[in-house]
A and B are shown apart, each in its own frame.
Chain A
Amino acid sequence: MIYSKIKPMRNNLFKSAMKLWLLVLIASACNKDNTGIEVNLAYRLIADKTWYLDYAQTINGNTVSNRTYLGQPTYFINYLKNLATSDSDGLVGVYEIIKNDTAVQIKVQAMTASGNASNYTYEIESIGAKSMIMRYNKNSITTRLFFSTQE
């Protein structure tokens, strides 16, 4: 008698579990906006480090030229956790990591020691815990800057 009441309850429970399972599957299949995650990850890798310029590469049409700074005093830049930046040329300012349609970029707003503004935006081509490649275009010439933490 009791069991005959339990059976429909159990079938309902089974159906509910199946529906819940389907809902979870559908919810997990939905896409999420990952722009914020990418910017945060880039910030986590860049911030709180000093980056040294190891190589510079200029690409002008089919002409590629490389220059190495390894083993010699070189340009370096600090990106601090509080979004402040300073470099070996005496520029001091703030930086911001942003994402445009195609790439993650670093936007620097700095002042020279003599008080002149120096603002620039580089595209971050590749970023890791110890190495980073930035690039920018000027007058149809692409410059790639290869930085490392020299660890």
Chain B
Amino acid sequence: MPHKYLLSSLLILCCWCTNQVNAQSDLEPKKEKFTHIFKKRVYLITGMNFNKQIITLNNYSSGFNYELNDYQKNLYKPAYFLGIRWESKLINTHKYALTAQLSKISTGNNYLDSKKLPPFVKNYSNFLAEDQFLMLNLSAYYKQLIPISDTSKYRLYLVAGPSLNTRLSAQSADNLVNNNYRKYYISGDAGIEFNNQSLYTLFIHYKQPLSSFTHNSLATKLNSIEMGAMIKLNDLF
């Protein structure tokens, strides 16, 4: 099932890219121009992400109990991602970027509330948050240049935009019972990107979830910090 999501998403992105190229190419042979622009505007991105899930149980209940002494981990756990980005301009001035990336995610899980059953079980949860995901992230960013140095050499951008995050990995049996996890959640991304003489770009992004990753009365927010680098396909091939 996950490869269907990936393939169809990549197909949609590729078709959209070719449509963009077609709209702008009139003079050169179209196929050559397509290859040229595709390589010039498409970047390969990769890096590390650090993730934490913040869980509020509210009134959720199930027939299972999980002692929080074993599962409470209030920290960001590292993993990695790989993807492609398309960069262009709107009306020749406003820079934007579209990104499709596959993210392996490992999370620390912070339960904000717990249940008690004294004197038997002191702190427990009826919900066991997953700590491993494979995600497909589709993001759109608006890029704003910050003119703080010689912009012919170094460029610093402020980027922000929405992201649709699709879970490709299956749920564990603990969550399949009540089908706790959603397939999608939306996040707002913001960050800064440093471009070094158009050779490469280093970036750091923060993803703030705007919707819960879980159904029922559970509220689960998956926060991510991404640090990575991107390079033009043109420079690679």
Interface residues of A (CB under 8 A from B): 2-3, 7, 10, 13-14, 16-18, 20-21, 24, 28, 31-32, 34, 37-38, 40-42, 44-45, 54-55, 68, 103-104, 124-131, 133, 146, 148
B1 touches A24 (CB 8 A): yes
User: Can you name 16 A-B residue pairings with CB atoms under 8 Å?
Assistant: A7-B22, A13-B11, A14-B11, A20-B4, A20-B8, A28-B183, A31-B179, A34-B176, A37-B173, A37-B177, A38-B177, A42-B63, A45-B64, A127-B64, A127-B65, A131-B120
A129 to B64, CA, bound (A): 9
A124 to B62, CA, bound (A): 11
A42 to B173, CA, bound (A): 10
A16 to B4, CA, bound (A): 12
A10 touches B173 (CB 8 A): no
Interface residues on B, range: 20 to 34
Query: Does B12 reach chain A (CB closer than 8 Å)?
Result: yes
B176 touches A37 (CB 8 A): yes
List, in ascending order, chain A residues with CB within 8 A of B30's CB: 3
Give B107-141 interface residues, CB cut-off 8 Å to A: 117, 119-121, 124, 126
B12 touches A21 (CB 8 A): yes
Q: Out of A13, A20, A24, A128, which one reaches B65, CB within 8 Å? A: A128
Interface residues of B (CB under 8 A from A): 1, 4-5, 7-9, 11-12, 15, 18, 22, 30-31, 63-67, 70, 117, 119-121, 124, 126, 173-174, 176-179, 183
A130 touches B183 (CB 8 A): no
A18 touches B120 (CB 8 A): no
For the complex formed, measure the closest distance between the CB of B80 and the CB atoms of chain A, giving whole angstroms: 25
Nearest B-chain residue to A125, judged by Cβ? B63
A92 to B67, CA, bound (A): 31
A7 to B19, CA, bound (A): 9
A21 touches B9 (CB 8 A): yes
A146 to B65, CA, bound (A): 13
B8 touches A126 (CB 8 A): no
**Given A10-B15, A131-B65: A34 and B8 interface contact (C-beta under 8 Å):** no
For the complex formed, measure the closest distance between the CB of A29 and the CB atoms of chain B, giving whole angstroms: 8
A28 to B177, CA, bound (A): 16
A37 to B178, CA, bound (A): 10
List, in ascending order, chain B residues with CB within 8 A of A133's CB: 117, 120
Q: Out of A17, A103, A130, which one reaches B63, CB within 8 Å? A: A103
Nearest A-chain residue to B15, judged by Cβ? A14
A130 touches B67 (CB 8 A): yes
List, in ascending order, chain A residues with CB within 8 A of B8's CB: 17, 20-21, 24
List, in ascending order, chain B residues with CB within 8 A of A3's CB: 30-31
A10 to B37, CA, bound (A): 18
Nearest A-chain residue to B29, judged by Cβ? A3
**Given A24-B4, A45-B64, A128-B65: A17 and B12 interface contact (C-beta under 8 Å):** yes
